[in-house]
Structure 1
């Protein structure tokens, strides 16, 4: 044990030196395994992990070119391969931020074990390799903001290998932020504390909300730093390098199949493996046999390949439609819905500038870099459908164009609508299916938009709605509900002008004098949005707080009357209304979360962690593991509170965001 701790201490304090064997940089899996066996301390807590790296056996892997130390991670095209062998770059003084017990349990690990903290800091930082791990970076391409970007790949993530568990499951482990790879381009392959905490917390939050997602097992920070210009405004600062252990069945994505794309007519870029249909077939065989075994079993004959590809694409389409429907029902905005951020198995993947809706706004943009609003909340379903179209194109000729188009037309909209309405009925406690349900939901969202209602809290509070016509407490409920609507101050701040008045004036003049040039510049959507903001601001100036509350109350009273009439239909169809009422409330509380990872909650945890206090990250993680109302819990009662805000007050984790959070910017 003493020798283990001594070796552990040495590796935890390693600087930028790279591990070598006999003076040569490590380049192959054999050398990695040899070095791991000869130089690294044997894990204890992690000793039970058994790797079986099927992806590297069944898909082509590039061997890094010869050269000096660091050549393996030199930016370069990687033709004819799905992976390139890499190695993590050690960090100085790695330190554990948090472990997710439920995620690590997938691997058969107990996060409370005595050795867990030390070994997580060592092995999940990339400072040491686990026996059997074979680090590699995945090659993929992608359409980013609608334009083909050519080769992208794992620029800041590394495949470690696939762990087979005692229960027969197989999980791919990945380190995000472990150093440069051939796909890092001009970047350094690092992630920082703030972005890593956001990804770590949201991966787990989404799982506990019941949404398909990749998982996060650990977050490890360090004393190593990199320079980042957070807002791209010329004010860079040093930030701590941090690594997240990600867990999923696979991290293969739509863009993985775009490496074969010929030169794009708009961008002039091409994939690195153009013409290699043999690799496309190889990858398709691997993905279907590994992650869609039922389809493989049904279409085992080689003469049935088109039908197999069609069945595969149909299932990917369904899973993607269901996933984005789940997003819409909890108010989740992904932020960067490029084809390289779309999982081939229908999981939410790559948490960057995401956000959960606070004030309901269908045009909400959570990514400050999305100037054109391509990935607004309301556009997410159509963008996912567009991405599926690009996947279908990437699967040709294995999936004929006409077949892919037909499947997408048949499946996506219908599956999205079915799943979305099914979920929304549960959120509203509706147990029967009625034709008017879609319109009821649409009018609810319209009311939420008109009143600036908080998305999460409004749905949560509806479970307390007194459904009886003469039930006491209706006035109090209406008051509570309207308290979740935005104040005049919040609305004025949220709807403040985004364009310089002189710029807007010039754009309007250009639209009148030279509409062709105006259309070419591509700012029409921005100008239209700005004019809408000005109109909304003008209307707000004519209101006082009392008038706003009265207006909001009228809007909600009208919708609640419609909602009660719909509930009456359900209640009249059952014999035991008391049992119906109990089941109605139970269903609503099981599908309307009380807690989501609001930006201000994540920001408070980040600011504490940047000062060396990780307790808030751990507290928020624990809270997000139980986002729904618990049986026996009072609907209203004492709630856990977060750290003090700017004004010194403590806020409940289910509170609407404080005023300072309205201006939070995530890129």
Structure 2
């Protein structure tokens, strides 16, 4: 099937009119295709090549509509850096409709009712980042929204400087946020709150239908999913940067890629968003912030669930779900198949050694995947070696308690420790080329994003070390 032959539905528009505003996209000038994800297209049942679909650019640019599409933006509230904002909404996202369980959305397609003082646009640099990172997170096995296509244009957009406008066509099984529930609770629209909960259950948790205590069970699912996504963020060193409640998906997946970053050198205190002066959304704080956000969601749901019961679920489910999955992933990343008495101390020591060594987090694990007793390949990447040198000696002794052969251990570890991580320095290099109309690096990065554990001999340049001046930089929310 061709993409342009898809037939959409718009179940969200069956909700009360307070939930959304109907709006038409505002097309960009002289649009052109930059990149497509054929892998994401599979989610829609599209098997013909996207880049050969003559209508694709017109659809992404909002000039042409897919069959039965009705365009709208969604209303929600949110806690931004801990402070409640009673009305936010899709300020530059316009929904097209749904097909095959995926909601299609244009990001950067123009002003909506919720744009406030914004222009409803997205610039090329941030659109490249969102397009690539959506697919990279999928490649790593981290729950995420997806990106189907990216177009550029000759339209000028004012930010700190004049930049070119772009649009990403992105997909998600749901675009409902924690803040959507907060909006109706704050307005005292409790009937709408229940209407929204029923919609969310239909869309994201249909297995709960007809069960007793259905809304509390929905909340438990949200808690578990969120905890497991956070476990994967922490295990792979991902810093989201803006964990406001309006950026938290109700099904737990990662959405809204702004000033994100993967760790370069391991630094638990790292803050990727330079707007975040207090470090609220630092790397180490992310699990705690997710817990706090879920607490705010429990408050928002309190008219339809028992608040104390929700808090009990939060305390019991979040920590256990997070720790179980995080430990499982870290055992796999370290090549350990069995659990031993002193493993927790070994693990804590490792993170402390990485912090003091000044060493690339994910590159360390990739090199550890081939460790056979020769420490040189790892230690030569450190600024300070002593602690990690000592830790490797103890790690080698720990491996002797495993029955797995070194060859099999290496093989298993290479499947969980990626060679290619989309670091900010390499993304910035691709953006700089794109700004002079060279999009080759965007498409190279897409290849490794979708298969980060594989060897790509022709693309080795994409895993080069981070230049010292580009390490652990902070980014702007401006996009």
Q: In structure 2, do the counterparts of structure 1 residues 94 and 639 end up closer, same or farther at CA, with 3 Å as the change threshold?
A: closer
CA contact (8 A) 2:77 2:180 kept: yes
User: Counterpart of 2:313?
Assistant: 407
Inter-partner Cα distance in structure 1 for 2:218 and 2:2? 38
State the match for 1:78 in structure 2: none
SS in 2 for 1:561: helix
What is the distance in 2 between the residues matched to 1:557 and 1:485? 10
- Normalised by the length of structure 1, the TM-score is 0.69
On the 8 A contact 1:359/1:485 being kept in 2, the answer is: no
Higher relative contact order (CA 8 A, sep 6+): 2
Does structure 1 residue 394 correspond to structure 2 residue 394?
no
Tell me the distance in 2 between the aligned counterparts of 1:114 and 1:335: 32
Q: Which residue of 2, 6, 12 maps to 1:55?
A: 12
C-alpha distance in structure 1 between counterparts of 2:127 and 2:48, whole Å: 19
2:226 alignment counterpart: 320
Shift of 1:95: 0.6
Deviations 1:346-368 (A, max 9, x none): 10000000000000000000111
Task: Pick the aligned partner of 2:82 from 127, 146, 156.
Answer: 146
Tell me the distance in 2 between the aligned counterparts of 1:368 and 1:126.
Answer: 33
Runs of 4+ in 1 over 4 A off after TM superposition: none
Aligned length: 476
**Corresponding residue number in structure 2 for 1:659:** 468
The reply to whether residue 617 of structure 1 matches residue 459 of structure 2 is no
Look up the match of 1:133.
Answer: 69
Partner of 1:124 in structure 2? 60
Structure ID, larger Rg: 1
In 2, Cα distance between the equivalents of 1:144 and 1:152? 10
Displacement of 1:111: 5.9
Gaps of 5+ in 2: none
Structure 2: how far apart are the matches of 1:111 and 1:212?
25
Contact 2:444 2:459 in 1 (8 A): no
Give the distance between the partners of 2:473 and 2:396, measured in 1 at CA.
Answer: 37
Distance 2:233 2:362 in 1: 12
Q: Does 1:192 align with 2:123?
A: yes
Could you say which residue in structure 2 is the equivalent of 1:24? none
* Residue 194 (structure 2) aligns with: 281
Distance 1:126 1:618 in 2: 23
1:601 matched to 2:421? The reply is no
For residues 150-183 of structure 1, give each alpha carbon's deviation from its aligned partner in whole angstroms, at most 9, with x where no partner exists: 201000101110013xxxxx11000000000010
Q: What's the CA shift for 1:481?
A: 0.5
Asked if structure 1 preserves the Cα contact closer than 8 Å seen for 2:379 and 2:389, the reply is: no
1:465 maps to which residue? 371
Is the 1:358–1:598 contact (alpha carbons within 8 Å) kept by the matching residues of 2? yes
Deviation string 1:188-237 (CA, Å, 9 cap, x unpaired) is 100000000000000000001000000000011111111101xxxxxxx2
In 1, distance between residues paired with 2:441 and 2:51? 22
Give runs of aligned pairs for residues 120-519 of structure 1, distance below 5 A.
120-164=56-100, 170-229=101-160, 237-262=161-186, 274-297=187-210, 299=211, 304=212, 307-466=213-372, 474=373, 477-486=374-383
- 1:124 CA drift (Å): 0.7
Alpha-carbon distance in 2 for matches of 1:152, 1:448: 40
Does the residue aligned with 1:378 lie in a helix, a strand or coil? coil
- 1:601-628 deviations in whole A, cap 9, x for unaligned? 1101101111011111011111211100
Task: Give the Cα separation in 2 of the matches to 1:203 and 1:222.
Answer: 21
Is the Cα contact below 8 Å between 2:41 and 2:47 reproduced in 1? yes
Instruction: Quote how far apart the aligned CAs of 1:122 are.
Output: 1.0
Q: How does 1:64-83 map to 2 (within 5 A)?
A: 81-83=18-20
1:582, distance to aligned residue in structure 2 (A): 3.2
Q: Secondary structure at the match of 2:165?
A: strand
SS at the partner of 2:44?
coil
Structure 2 Cα separation of the partners of residues 195 and 620 of structure 1 = 15
Tell me the SS of whatever aligns to 1:161: strand
Q: Mark the CA change 1:113 to 1:145 in structure 2 (over 3 Å): closer, same or farther.
A: closer
The separation in 2 between residues aligned to 1:113 and 1:592, in whole angstroms, is 31
Structure 1 residue matching 2:402: 3-state secondary structure: helix
CA distance in 2, matches of 1:374, 1:244: 28
Q: Separation in 2 of the partners of 1:110 and 1:221?
A: 24
1:85 correspondence with 2:22: yes
**Aligned equivalents of 2:366 and 2:454: distance in 1?**
9
Residue 664 of structure 1 deviates from its aligned partner by 4.4
Q: Deviations 1:368-426 (Å, cap 9, x if unpaired)?
A: 11111000101100000000000111101211110111111111111111110011000
> Structure 1 residues 664 and 414 mapped into 2: Cα distance closer, same or farther (>3 Å)?
closer
CA contact (8 A) 1:318 1:411 kept: yes
**Does the 8 Å contact 2:88/2:114 carry over to 1?**
yes
Question: Residue 91 of structure 2 contacts residue 120 of structure 2 at CA under 8 Å; is this kept in 1?
Answer: yes
TM-score in terms of structure 2 length: 0.96
For the structure 1 residues 585 and 114, does the alpha-carbon distance in structure 2 shift closer, same or farther, using more than 3 Å as the test?
closer
Using the alignment, how far apart are the partners of 2:92 and 2:48 within structure 1? 25
